[in-house]
Structure 1
Amino acid sequence: MTIQRYEVFNKVVQLQSITKAGNELNLTQSGVSHAVKSLEDELGLNLLIRNRGGVKLTREGEKVYQHTLNIMNEYNNLNQEASALKGIETGEIKVGTFSSITMYWLPLIIKQFKTEYPNININVIEDEHETVEKYVESGELDCCFTIASNEKNIEFIPLKKDKLLCIVSTENPLSKQDTINLEQLEHYPLIRSRKDWFYEVNELLSQYKINLTVKYEISSDHSMIALVKENLGINIRPELVLTNAPPGIRAIEFDKDIYRIIGLGINNRPSHATKRFISTVTDLYQTI
């Protein structure tokens, strides 16, 4: 019963709702409330603040949640390992991803993985790089697709170099060139993407001391490309994002080898099922 209470408590925290947690766990609202209250009574602590907007953790609850999350992860790992020892591949993997990976890599990964391991479920959460990394670090996700950087608190497995390209309108004079020098960018207005998508570009500009004039800040790839197409500015995007770039746009390589590195972020104790997922991903996409 204690393990179930941990599971219920964790789900309430993650969904920030007793009702939603009950629906996902197939429990009544009163059953969820009773499980959480029983855990609070056992520990002698108030773990949740309940209000009309849902629930959130108390200061004590934040510390307890990290422990209950670790306990449930270890419990699930134990069950997966026991099944594997019996020759049965079961379990669940929680994977973080970002939009271009979701669109261009994940369908093949899931198809291949489910062919080999039909009894292992994959749950996908799409968000910003920094966010999914934090979820892996806390134990809420098993692994995530992310970008190489010098500031990581999780293990990083490099997979592939993804070229950074300058995209311009076919009406822009730069579109006549085969390659672009970084210094040329200073003469054109920049359409900047939202923070997490622009991390690698900021690193690039800082490294080569390039100062660009930001004309627009856009959160949507489609909107940004539409503005570039109308020759309202230029943008720097990874090659993967430009897989299906529309007519009227030209993607041009730089005269330097400029790229980001896509990889997998994992915690230091990956489950049996997570190791299987990592193996599938590296078989399909690892080139470095």
Structure 2
Amino acid sequence: MDLSIGKYEIFHTVVELGSLTKASVSLNISQSGVSHAISSLEKELGFSLLTRNKAGIRLTVNGERMLLYMREILYLNEKMLQEAGEIRGLEIGTVRIGTFSSITAVWLPGLLKKFMDQYPHIKVDIVEGKQEEITIWISQGIVDFGFLMLPAADLEVLHLKREAFCCVVPETHHLGAENSIKLNALQEEKLILQNSTLKIIHNILKSNKLSPEIAFHLDDEQAVISMVKNSLGVAILPDIALHNLPDGVKIIPLSDDRAICSIGIGSVSFKNLSPAAEKFIAASTLWLNEHFT
């Protein structure tokens, strides 16, 4: 059978974008060319990969099974091309990174600038999501690796930085005059937490035999801070989430030495990363050492 890498790439792009039209634009080929490639692939395999209707496209059960292998083949092909480029003295390829909002806002601009200045011919694809989504993307090979709050189950991890938790309160709050806050001072407060650190904070509170009310838990740190500004509760957030703070709130450190979390990189296997991914991780650790030590 003639199952070409090109057909795999077309099929993978259609699935990722959820549309033949979007895939044709992304790949710069005609929509009829995309349809022909999918039909040809289905004919060669002997079964349908996609169902098509007015609502769009969906993977068949068999399509889901084949997608896992095609992702692996595309990844290995990309890795092979990068290795070949290195042999020829070229630094090329694509690195796909999973990240969450705080990393995107605070770290990535500096990281990308350093990396792209050093490796201008390596393309970087950024996929932003929730912690759970990033973990799934890593496991399924959608991204090469991802930035995560540690620990991360079933992944190899590289610790990057410890982050202290701080309390965010409205300026008029009775705790606003404090220079630091003990955890037990929060027992009667309504807490607003970020989902990415919800389990970590719960464990910290539990170890101190505290069980304050968790009024809200949200994905976006700016939404958490906005709720604090409107006096709906107080927040506990890591340092990295405390960027672009609005007027009307105050940051107060927590005095408990255990009120910390770790940010790191998760991967299925660091040994099997592509050269481009290895270079990005090396550049990341160097940038962090330059800016946070």
| TM-score, with structure 1 as normaliser | 0.93
Choose the corresponding residue for 1:277, options 251, 259, 280: 280
1:59-74 → structure 2 map (5 Å cutoff): 59-74=61-76
How far apart, CA to CA, are the structure 2 residues paired with 1:54 and 1:152? 34
Partner of 1:134: 136
Q: CA deviation at 1:4?
A: 0.5
Counterpart residue identity of residue 277, structure 1: F
Counterpart residue identity of residue 16, structure 1: G
> Secondary structure of the residue that 1:256 maps to in structure 2?
coil
Corresponding pairs, count: 286
Partner of 2:250: 250
How far apart, CA to CA, are the structure 2 residues paired with 1:216 and 1:47? 41
Q: CA deviation at 1:199?
A: 3.8
Query: Tell me, which stretches of 5 or more residues in structure 1 are unaligned?
Result: none
Q: CA deviation at 1:205?
A: 2.7
Contact between 2:198 and 2:217, CA under 8 Å: does it hold in 1? no
Which has the larger displacement, 210-219 or 75-84? 210-219
How far apart, CA to CA, are the structure 2 residues paired with 1:203 and 1:125? 29
Partner of 1:228: 228
Which has the larger displacement, 72-81 or 175-184? 175-184
Choose the corresponding residue for 2:35, options 27, 33, 36: 33
How has the CA–CA distance of structure 1 residues 191 and 69 changed in structure 2, closer, same or farther, with 3 Å as cutoff? same
Partner of 2:100: 98
Counterpart residue identity of residue 134, structure 2: V
> Secondary structure of the residue that 2:284 maps to in structure 1?
helix
> Secondary structure of the residue that 2:225 maps to in structure 1?
helix
How far apart, CA to CA, are the structure 2 residues paired with 1:21 and 1:80? 24
Partner of 1:241: 241
Q: CA deviation at 1:255?
A: 2.1
How has the CA–CA distance of structure 1 residues 115 and 219 changed in structure 2, closer, same or farther, with 3 Å as cutoff? closer
How has the CA–CA distance of structure 1 residues 255 and 9 changed in structure 2, closer, same or farther, with 3 Å as cutoff? same
Which has the larger displacement, 240-249 or 198-207? 198-207
Partner of 1:111: 113
Choose the corresponding residue for 2:52, options 50, 56, 72: 50
Partner of 2:196: 196
| TM-score, with structure 2 as normaliser | 0.91
> Secondary structure of the residue that 2:114 maps to in structure 1?
helix
How has the CA–CA distance of structure 1 residues 10 and 207 changed in structure 2, closer, same or farther, with 3 Å as cutoff? farther
When the two chains are superposed, the root-mean-square deviation of aligned CA atoms in Å is 1.8
Partner of 2:212: 212
How has the CA–CA distance of structure 1 residues 203 and 18 changed in structure 2, closer, same or farther, with 3 Å as cutoff? farther
Deviations 1:241-277 (A, max 9, x none): 1133233322222221211111111231210100000
> Secondary structure of the residue that 1:260 maps to in structure 2?
strand
1:170-185 → structure 2 map (5 Å cutoff): 170-185=171-186
> Secondary structure of the residue that 2:47 maps to in structure 1?
coil
Q: CA deviation at 1:85?
A: 0.9
How far apart, CA to CA, are the structure 1 residues paired with 2:174 and 2:231? 10
Deviations 1:61-85 (A, max 9, x none): 1111000000000000000000011
Contact between 2:101 and 2:220, CA under 8 Å: does it hold in 1? no
Deviations 1:135-193 (A, max 9, x none): 111111111111102x4222111100111111112211212222222122111122244
Which has the larger displacement, 172-181 or 60-69? 172-181
How far apart, CA to CA, are the structure 2 residues paired with 1:60 and 1:218? 36
> Secondary structure of the residue that 1:175 maps to in structure 2?
coil
> Secondary structure of the residue that 1:9 maps to in structure 2?
helix
Partner of 1:264: 265
How has the CA–CA distance of structure 1 residues 51 and 196 changed in structure 2, closer, same or farther, with 3 Å as cutoff? farther
How far apart, CA to CA, are the structure 2 residues paired with 1:119 and 1:214? 47
> Secondary structure of the residue that 1:203 maps to in structure 2?
helix
Q: CA deviation at 1:220?
A: 4.2
How far apart, CA to CA, are the structure 2 residues paired with 1:232 and 1:73? 47
How far apart, CA to CA, are the structure 2 residues paired with 1:54 and 1:114? 36
Counterpart residue identity of residue 251, structure 1: I
How has the CA–CA distance of structure 1 residues 216 and 261 changed in structure 2, closer, same or farther, with 3 Å as cutoff? closer
Deviations 1:91-115 (A, max 9, x none): 0111111111111110111110011
Counterpart residue identity of residue 135, structure 2: E
How far apart, CA to CA, are the structure 2 residues paired with 1:19 and 1:61? 19
How far apart, CA to CA, are the structure 2 residues paired with 1:206 and 1:114? 44
1:137-176 → structure 2 map (5 Å cutoff): 137-149=139-151, 151-176=152-177
Q: CA deviation at 1:197?
A: 5.0
